[in-house]
Amino acid sequence: MKLSYKTGFSFGLTSGIITTLGLIVGLNAGTHSRTAIIGGILTIAIADAFSDALGIHISQESQNKYTERSVWESTAATFLTKLVFALSFIGPILLFDLPKAIIISVVWGFSALSLFSYLIAKQQKGSVWKVVTEHFIIGLIVVSTTQVVGMLIKTVFN
């Protein structure tokens, strides 16, 4: 895979999973509203995918070491990957009762993140457990923090 596509894919996948999981868990803890969660996912899928793609675009342009084509390939790959992975969380929210949908979403997100981390570690010939554990812990911190913030918001504003 070309470096430009790999850059966009890896950034979009990671951001799509972690951002969307954080949003789902936080909104659920604060609202228990399927409508709010779906609205949040759609917002992340559209606005944050564009934002992340622009961030990659500007970051690469500022380094002045990538071709224009490569910058646009990374931009497109980031946008499409973030969009697809964020939208992948809508299925469980629509198909299952909310508590079960949250669990399915967390399992799906951490499974995809762990698989991708595994593939990265294998490609780099590094310690699989170290890479997977590191990425898993960071994801866990995000999800746990958004759970607590959602519960605090519910407590303060209810």
Alpha helices in 64-127 (DSSP H): 68-87, 90-95, 98-124
Q: From first to last of the 158 residues of the chain, give the pLDDT tens digit.
A: 899 999 999 999 999 999 999 999 999 999 999 999 999 999 999 999 999 999 999 999 999 999 999 999 999 999 999 999 999 999 999 999 999 999 999 999 999 999 999 999 999 998 999 999 999 999 999 999 999 999 999 999 98
CB burial of residue 105 (10 Å; 0-12, 13-18, 19+): buried
Amino acid at 66: Y
Domain span including residue 123:
3-157
Structural tokens at position 53: 């793609």
pLDDT for the residue 71: 96
SS3 percent helix, strand, coil of the chain, rounded to 5, is: 90, 0, 10
pLDDT for the residue 126: 87
State how many domains the chain has.
1
pTM for the model: 0.93
